[in-house]
Structure 1
Amino acid sequence: MHILVVLPNWLGDVAMCTPALRALHQRYPHAQITVAGRRIAVDVLEGLPGIANSVVLPARPNFMEMIRISRQLKPWSRDLAIVFPHSFRSALLAKLSGARRILGYNRGGRSWLLTDSIEPYREEGKIQPVYMAQEYSDLLNAVDVKPDNQGLELVADDQEIEAVRNHLSRTGPVVGFAPGAAFGPSKRWPAERYAAVANDLHERIDAQCVLMTGPGEEDTRDAFLEAASVPIIQCHGGSPTLARLKATISQLDLLIGNDSGPRHVAVAFDVPVICIMGSTKPAYSCGPYEKGEVLRIDVDCGPCQQPVCKTDHRCMTGISPELVANTAIRFLP
């Protein structure tokens, strides 16, 4: 049996689809499961059991590119294609690949591309937000796949872990800071406030403060480092990769970050998280497997689900560094 899985685009969503991937492998242990997605999606799943092949897809391919890619996918999608993203393009790619059966949610006017078009969760006729790990697992009910309720799962490379440990000392809790968010600035608590928390935790409990930023987050990184008055560890050696990010997060005692990808990577490694949440709806990302606490305040304009705040960003600026630091200490050894 050949099964193609079209992966979500965002790092956090990919981490949240791992319970569904594991359950799929458990139900069809002899199937050849191929995952296809953007580079970030394929890389974060590196080392995960049950995946036979990985195919990197370009971002937003045009029709001719999709024809070329579909020919590459054709041997791996013969029996079933599972489409996790909601986009029309992802369902079209599965259709072009020639899969006999195509499973996905009825979103974006694409139901005619799917052989198994599953209705999203609704209340009073309106689509409602659902924890993404549950949404992905629920989709697989149609192919007799049941969740094992064991949570998110990722694998860190042993050599990468050893490289991270070389940056850390043997004393003081290891606290990671992830001040970025690819979705947009509305999700980002100010970098200077993250630095203030690092300063506080280092002075109070001798915390080892690890900064994690990725490509395109140089301004956030620089603002954090400029505001920090204590030693800040960066484990990536100047070239951040997802392999090093996974290894770094796996060695933390606590992660402090926005509602972004590293949060869900931490959940996969059973690392407690202090999540500072502003513009996004908690229902999408708050699940039963997370340890730690979500810090958010209700405002009359939110959650807006917009990448850029149109007012004064009070959903985030109303959260103080003192609150974050005090909350963090409760979850540290």
Structure 2
Amino acid sequence: MGDVALTTPALIALAAKYSNMQLTVVTRGNFAPFFYNIPNLNVIGINLKKYKGLFGVWKLFVELKKLGPFDKIIDLHGSIRSRMISFLFSFHKIPSFIIIKGRREKAQQTRRFNKKLVKIPHTVDRYLNVFKKAGFEAPIRKGPWLNVDGESKIYARDYFKSIGLDKKEGQWFGFAPFAGHELKEWSFQKSVRLTQILLEEFPDCYIFLFGGKEEASELEILKNGEKRVNIVHGAQLGIRGELGIMDRLDLMIGMDSSNVHIAALLKKPVIGIFGTTHPISGFGPFAQEDTGVLQVELACRPCSIYGNVKCWRGDHACMELIDPLDVVRRIRVLQNVNTLW
């Protein structure tokens, strides 16, 4: 989801420079809210379950071809499915341009020994480079890079009203303690401690916990009956609801996960806790790769691009060495340099 959201700065740049260009984005249907209000852009929302296997790829190609004619195919995914579809379009003399993901450079960064720790292009820059190869070069525009539609604002309004916050008061902090892979997460006790410390250090703050249905019990533990701590059930609100709520926040704290990336695209100050992964691999919070990342430098980092590995040291030091008080200190720094709250 984060990778899809990160296409928006590139698409906004293209739409701004080439006002006569018609863009058609093909993605999962529930990701459509990310592309709201981008000029001359249509979203084709698909359910990938309908397009499994080789026959599914052919079926998707046939359906997409009917939506044309297209002048060029821009593959920002680089998966087997998207490459096959690009190949099929080539038989109809429609050129395709495919993202270079830098797998070799990433492998050099994440190998256990003799790492080559050279910063590589951010994912957004890789997206822009694909368009550049296709003949469309454009500079990044000033954010925010996600627009919140009216339906999202209604979801957010109803949510805040349901918890007794009709009007904004104090500081509103989002906290997303989970990630797609366990090794990208803090120990749960650190998340518990951070919630307690935030309430103590910022007496006027309200905390909004982001998580899925499967994490409901842990979120209730974090809430611990506190009136100033509220749970944002992503499964119930959907992406639109979460966008509307994030748009009202003063700060988002989280692991290296889609929540932090989405908040950064909304141009909200973020604190992303990075351990297994590293922003030099091109996945830092967009436009906040320095101030928006909390990390400790260890010789074993990064050990993964996505967090789907086992800890070589066995002690998860990259995350365990980051203390909840470090988060508080970073909030103080952001408050001093940021006028958003």
The TM tier, using the shorter chain, reads: 0.7 to 0.9
278-287 or 97-106, larger mean C-alpha shift: 97-106
Relative distance call for 1:106 and 1:273 in structure 2 (3 A) is closer
In 2, Cα distance between equivalents of 1:180 and 1:50: 36
> Is 2:284 the counterpart of 1:315?
no
Q: Tell me what 1:17 maps to.
A: 7
Displacement of 1:93 after TM fit? 1.8
Q: What amino acid is aligned across from residue 79 of structure 1 in structure 2?
A: D
Displacement of 1:18 after TM fit? 0.9
Q: Tell me what 2:112 maps to.
A: none
Relative distance call for 1:135 and 1:217 in structure 2 (3 A) is farther
Displacement of 1:129 after TM fit? 3.4
Structure with the higher fraction of residues in helix conformation? 2
Q: Tell me what 2:82 maps to.
A: 90
277-286 or 53-62, larger mean C-alpha shift: 53-62
Write the deviation string for residues 138-173 of structure 1: whole angstroms up to 9, x where unpaired: 111123322332246112123234234424353210
> Is 2:135 the counterpart of 1:133?
no
Displacement of 1:278 after TM fit? 0.6
Displacement of 1:242 after TM fit? 0.5
In 2, Cα distance between equivalents of 1:141 and 1:266: 27
Q: Tell me what 2:209 maps to.
A: 211
- The question of whether the paired residues in 2 share the 8 Å contact of 1:185 and 1:308 is answered with no
> Is 2:101 the counterpart of 1:102?
no
Which of 247, 259, 266 is the aligned partner of 2:263?
266
Q: Tell me what 2:330 maps to.
A: 327
Return 5+ residue gaps in structure 2 as ranges: 109-115, 336-340
Relative distance call for 1:288 and 1:157 in structure 2 (3 A) is closer
Task: List 4+ stretches of structure 1 deviating above 6 A.
Answer: 119-123
Counting aligned pairs with the same residue, the percent is 25
**Secondary structure in structure 1 of the residue aligned to 2:179:** coil
Relative distance call for 1:26 and 1:57 in structure 2 (3 A) is farther
Write the deviation string for residues 186-226 of structure 1: whole angstroms up to 9, x where unpaired: 11123332232222222222210011113444455345335
In 2, Cα distance between equivalents of 1:141 and 1:122: 25
In 2, Cα distance between equivalents of 1:26 and 1:145: 12
**Secondary structure in structure 2 of the residue aligned to 1:212:** strand
In 2, Cα distance between equivalents of 1:71 and 1:152: 36
Relative distance call for 1:216 and 1:308 in structure 2 (3 A) is farther
Q: Tell me what 1:51 maps to.
A: 41
Q: What amino acid is aligned across from residue 286 of structure 1 in structure 2?
A: G
Normalised TM-score (structure 2):
0.79
> Is 2:147 the counterpart of 1:147?
no
Displacement of 1:76 after TM fit? 3.4
* Paired positions, count: 310
- Indicate the RMSD between aligned Cα atoms, in angstroms: 3.1
Q: Tell me what 2:65 maps to.
A: 74
Relative distance call for 1:287 and 1:269 in structure 2 (3 A) is closer
- After the TM superposition, which residues 157-176 of structure 1 pair with which residues of structure 2 at under 5 Å, given as runs? 157-158=149-150, 159-166=154-161, 167=163, 168=165, 169-176=167-174
Displacement of 1:99 after TM fit? 6.5
In 2, Cα distance between equivalents of 1:244 and 1:191: 26
Write the deviation string for residues 30-61 of structure 1: whole angstroms up to 9, x where unpaired: 34322112344334334444322323141683
In 2, Cα distance between equivalents of 1:58 and 1:103: 22
